[in-house]
Structure 1
């Protein structure tokens, strides 16, 4: 277990979330180029920031879609902090947050070349679903959902 781990609720305007989201988008652009869907962040997204020894190393957002449906946004762990199970910590935290908010289903979009993300989500009970707007015509999008 990693010591000095902290999960902190923050807004999408938090500088650490902004930096992590920018790093994620740059990483995705390097993999997918112009074939990556560009979706702006909704202001209602509540972020969870993951800190290790005080340093921000990951984040995940939860966007309410309907009173019972939420969407994961910008789930990311910086490359130097991968392999320690931190993405599972973030996923568990956002699912708990969703349940507390009364959400009964979560959905997400990821890409076919993000093999670690695909493994994480499927191992955590997410199953493929038809693409939802705005991803329904995106060739680089795979959509998943999970009932909580």
Structure 2
């Protein structure tokens, strides 16, 4: 999918744009779920992709290595003003390409029961429900998905 004005770049978790976008994501989740949500620190080996639209960073997604062949999607986010244009699909496709190039054969993720757009995105891209994995196994608002690449 090609969207005019979209630029993707790789960034570490300490990148100012990554920090701003992931902070906005966490604030949005806190507003949706309250304080009853798992707070998971970012792994130092996570690799982020930042999506800019006409030069303004509006989205990000992280790829975290978990085990040989297994990666986890972390902190997928598109700013509310930039939603509805397919930018999350662009991020997801870029992440899957990155994962394949890194030799990963399976991706997993956790999302919340109230994030219907995220659930639709992942299921429409071949992600299937999977049993919850740590630290989400006792979180009632968590849904876990996985996909073989």
2:43 is equivalent to residue 76 of structure 1: no
Q: Secondary structure at the match of 2:108?
A: strand
Q: Which runs of 5+ in 2 are unaligned?
A: none
Which residues in structure 2 correspond to 1:12-31 (within 5 Å)?
12-31=13-32
Q: Matches of 1:130 and 1:3 in 2, distance apart?
A: 38
CA offset at residue 34 of structure 1? 1.4
Q: Secondary structure at the match of 1:22?
A: helix
CA contact (8 A) 1:37 1:140 kept: no
**TM-score in terms of structure 1 length:** 0.98
CA offset at residue 2 of structure 1? 2.7
2:53 is equivalent to residue 49 of structure 1: no
Please name the residue that 2:121 is paired with: 120
Stretches of 4+ aligned residues off by more than 3 angstroms: none
Q: Matches of 1:2 and 1:65 in 2, distance apart?
A: 31
1:90-141 per-position Cα deviation (integer Å, ceiling 9, x unaligned)? 0000000000000000000000000000000000000000000010011111
CA offset at residue 71 of structure 1? 0.1
Please name the residue that 1:88 is paired with: 89
Q: Secondary structure at the match of 2:144?
A: strand
**TM-score in terms of structure 2 length:** 0.98
CA contact (8 A) 1:106 1:147 kept: yes
